[in-house]
Structure 1
Amino acid sequence: MKHLLARRPAQAAPAAVEEEWEVDEPAADHDYVGGWSTGARANTSALLRWTAWSLLLISPVLGAAALARASTTSTAQPTVAASAPAATGSQGAAGFATLFVAQYLRAGEGDQDKLAAYYPAAADLRLEGESGRRHGEQLTVARLRQTDPDVWSVTVAARIVSDDAPTAKETKAADPAAGDSRPSAAEAAADSIHYFQVPVAVGSAGGGATGYTALSMPAEVAAPARITAPDLIYGAEQQAVSSDPRTEAVTQFLLAFLTGAGELDRYLAPGTQLTAITPAPYAGVAVDQMRIEDDQGSEPVSTVPKDGTRSRLVVTVRVTGHDKVRVPLSYALTLRARAGRWEIAALDGAPSPALPTQAAPPPPASTP
């Protein structure tokens, strides 16, 4: 029998060792060479070849990914840093400007220090008139825009009330010859809304807090421009007809919603959650006008379509207060048909604008 180790002397090992080798020795198998099988060597060679090819093929992909990641990292950081201040301090700047305008309208002689709390240079201003002779009412932010990374321009609207300014009614009473003449410029100015633009700088005040300061005194500006209202999805306004099931559904819903008459859930579509106003602000509701989605002003509707049909509408109502005075209100609603009746599916946040009409594509050019 041929031994696995060719150089081993015949007498170098005990018989037990020779028997152990003889039992485990694959004498008839010529696929073992030097302790490795030729099949294993073939598999290993194939594995090494595939590994080498895989590394060769994937290396450009890994290199491109690493380059893209490095490029993203290097460019993303400045973008974040530049855009971060865009929303920083906007709400605080608006409140700061509102307080500044309120103090400015009340200011008079000797109030420089009160204004300097908002605009430090106001300590050297010359102020006239009695402190508190006028004040602002209905102060609200009408416009807020960022002019620089750390500067906000805040426009505050206010109605100015002067303690010593006569009203138009008092002026006419003092001068009967005035009759129904148009109000004077002073009267018109006193009865109008004024707009004050305040530049507010925003910055760190230490300890993680944000600080504010005005860059100048307020500047009175014109009222913000008004735009033309967009077209809506609803048809022309029409009289609400009692025989229309939509009129009945809207009336019952608003009675429960505004006056507390009836259970509100009875008039809501499944899945709709609304809460009646409490305490009820009104004692009565009358639906006057309706504008219905895609309505072409056809014959009055007296039936309810199949289940699941939706209809959006805007209703104008007159509500009666507890003082017996009627005032108008409008509601944009979405209705859904179910079981032969209309239910309220949503109290919409606003009437829905119509989608802009897209121009038809030009005809293809003719070829001779």
Structure 2
Amino acid sequence: MKSPLRPQRARGAGTEQADANEQGWFVDEMGEEDSHSQEAYPAEQGGWATASVGAVANTVAVIRWTAWVLLVSGPLLGLLALVSQPTVTAAAPPTVLKSHGVQDQAGPAGFAALYVTAYVSAGQGTESSLSPYFPDVRDLTLSAKTGSQEAEQAAAVKVKQISGGYWSVTVAARIHAIGGSKKDGSAGDPGGEPDHPAGGTLRYFQVPVKEAASGALVAVALPAEVSAPDVGAPPELDYGLAAPAQSSDAAVKTLQGFLGAYLTGGSDDVDRYLSPQTHLSLISPAPYRQVQIVQLAEHGTDEPGSNWPAGRALPDRAQRQLLVTVDATGTDAQTRPLTYAIALKARAGRWDISSLDAAPGLKNAPATAGQEGETS
């Protein structure tokens, strides 16, 4: 920065000294101004800014230790990431539901029974009556006389699945001829005897049933008449030997009152024989007018009631499982036997009905919920 202009002095004696003084003043003035400029504007200094040797050493040490930490922790962090990876659980495959699929055997069984009923009555000129069951019947011609026989009853007795959506159904049908005779086999012979006894003859037909793509059922072929299925061996019940009902058994009194009210609709209130929280709907209208307990079989003993002799106090919540056979006399004065699986439970010194079981117990059979009226 330049100093302000000063007026020139005349040169002569003392001029040099004056110049020297003037120059010295100028230098001091410039030096003072420069020092002020340096203090006011330090950022305007040129060159590299340097730090102390100690600061640089510390910085280098920090960088060195940071590098070592990263070098050592790298493998550890990788191992930790590998171990802590979340377990991937395979998603369960979606359940595919068929919109029109036959899910059980009831459909094929009922379809086959209807088909056999229509088939037995069909004949020449009525082939189309089989079309709802067997579409290919349009290519067939029946020669039998329409209505020469009919099925009074038809029911599926065996269903075997051949493959997915394909079954073989065996149908039992009670068939009787219309107007046939043993004399000459002609229909409508007034002097002839009926071909079959009253009630018809039980015959068996095997029907192949297929589920179509639409979900509808169709017969693959005409019915095939077959022999009766084998009769299976009777299952072993989970009760001891049956014995005549004894009036000394306190349970017999309860059973007599309960079944009498249940089957005949008598004056007794059936609820009085039931355990608390047990409910049972009555048969209406009542089909019988008299009931008599005939015999008992009890789970765990061949002598029903032997574990509970007369006069012995009954502990609350003691239980018995019985198979009860009764003779029931209907309004037609005819007597028919009936069998009930019944569970008893002791309460306040007497036996109550705790459940009317859906079926008798079988040996080595898994326990299932099959009781009517048991709510607790």
Same fold (TM over 0.5): yes
**Are residues 1:142 and 2:154 paired?**
no
Pick one of 341, 345, 349 that aligns with 1:340: 349
Pick one of 81, 87, 101 that aligns with 1:55: 81
Residues 125-274 of structure 1: pairs in structure 2 closer than 5 A: 125-165=140-180, 187=196, 191-205=200-214, 210-261=215-266, 262-274=268-280
Query: Which structure is larger by alpha-carbon Rg, 1 or 2?
Result: 2
Give SS of 2:213's match: strand
Residues 117-132 of structure 1: pairs in structure 2 closer than 5 A: 117-132=132-147
**Are residues 1:309 and 2:318 paired?**
yes
Return the alpha-carbon distance in structure 1 between the equivalents of residues 97 and 282 of structure 2: 46
Normalised TM-score (structure 1): 0.68
Return the alpha-carbon distance in structure 1 between the equivalents of residues 97 and 286 of structure 2: 50
- Any unmatched runs of 5+ in structure 2? 1-37, 42-57, 60-65, 183-190, 366-376
Q: CA 1:153–1:353 in structure 2 vs 1: closer, same or farther (change >3 Å)?
A: same
Match of 1:353 in 2: 362
Give SS of 2:332's match: coil
Q: CA 1:111–1:87 in structure 2 vs 1: closer, same or farther (change >3 Å)?
A: closer
Q: CA 1:342–1:196 in structure 2 vs 1: closer, same or farther (change >3 Å)?
A: same
Give SS of 1:204's match: coil
Equivalent position amino acid for 1:96 in 2? F
Q: Cα deviation per residue 1:37-64 (whole Å; 9 max; x = unaligned)?
A: xxxx9xxx9x9999765422123xx3xx
Pick one of 104, 107, 112 that aligns with 2:119: 104
Q: Cα deviation per residue 1:62-91 (whole Å; 9 max; x = unaligned)?
A: 3xx43x61xx66xx46xx669999854743
Q: Cα deviation per residue 1:252-290 (whole Å; 9 max; x = unaligned)?
A: 110111111211111111222211111111111100111
Q: Is the 8 A contact 2:177 2:196 kept in 1?
A: no
Q: Is the 8 A contact 1:86 1:149 kept in 2?
A: no
Q: CA 1:83–1:281 in structure 2 vs 1: closer, same or farther (change >3 Å)?
A: same
Return the alpha-carbon distance in structure 1 between the equivalents of residues 304 and 208 of structure 2: 55
Give SS of 1:327's match: strand
Q: Is the 8 A contact 2:293 2:325 kept in 1?
A: yes
The root-mean-square deviation of aligned C-alpha atoms, in Å, is 3.8
Return the alpha-carbon distance in structure 2 between the equivalents of residues 226 and 234 of structure 1: 23
Equivalent position amino acid for 1:258 in 2? L
Normalised TM-score (structure 2): 0.67
Q: CA deviation at 1:191?
A: 4.1
Q: CA 1:298–1:89 in structure 2 vs 1: closer, same or farther (change >3 Å)?
A: closer
Pick one of 338, 361, 369 that aligns with 1:329: 338
Q: CA deviation at 1:200?
A: 1.2
Q: CA 1:298–1:311 in structure 2 vs 1: closer, same or farther (change >3 Å)?
A: closer
Q: Cα deviation per residue 1:234-264 (whole Å; 9 max; x = unaligned)?
A: 1111111122111111111101111112111
Return the alpha-carbon distance in structure 2 between the equivalents of residues 277 and 57 of structure 1: 69
Give the structure with the higher percent helix: 1
Return the alpha-carbon distance in structure 2 between the equivalents of residues 134 and 48 of structure 1: 93
Q: Cα deviation per residue 1:1-38 (whole Å; 9 max; x = unaligned)?
A: xxxxxxxx9979xxxxxxxxxxxxxxxxxxxx99xxxx
Q: Is the 8 A contact 2:297 2:304 kept in 1?
A: no
Q: Cα deviation per residue 1:192-213 (whole Å; 9 max; x = unaligned)?
A: 32221111111233xxxx2222
Return the alpha-carbon distance in structure 2 between the equivalents of residues 280 and 114 of structure 1: 41
Return the alpha-carbon distance in structure 2 between the equivalents of residues 190 and 255 of structure 1: 33
Instruction: Indicate the percent of aligned positions where both proteins have the same amino acid.
Output: 34
- Any unmatched runs of 5+ in structure 1? 1-8, 13-32, 35-40, 168-173, 177-183, 357-368
Match of 1:279 in 2: 285
Q: CA 1:310–1:223 in structure 2 vs 1: closer, same or farther (change >3 Å)?
A: same
Q: Is the 8 A contact 2:296 2:304 kept in 1?
A: no
Equivalent position amino acid for 2:219 in 1? A
Q: CA 1:165–1:298 in structure 2 vs 1: closer, same or farther (change >3 Å)?
A: same
Return the alpha-carbon distance in structure 1 between the equivalents of residues 98 and 213 of structure 2: 16
Q: Is the 8 A contact 1:304 1:337 kept in 2?
A: no
Q: CA 1:320–1:289 in structure 2 vs 1: closer, same or farther (change >3 Å)?
A: same
Give SS of 2:358's match: coil
**Are residues 1:290 and 2:299 paired?**
no
Q: Is the 8 A contact 1:304 1:341 kept in 2?
A: no
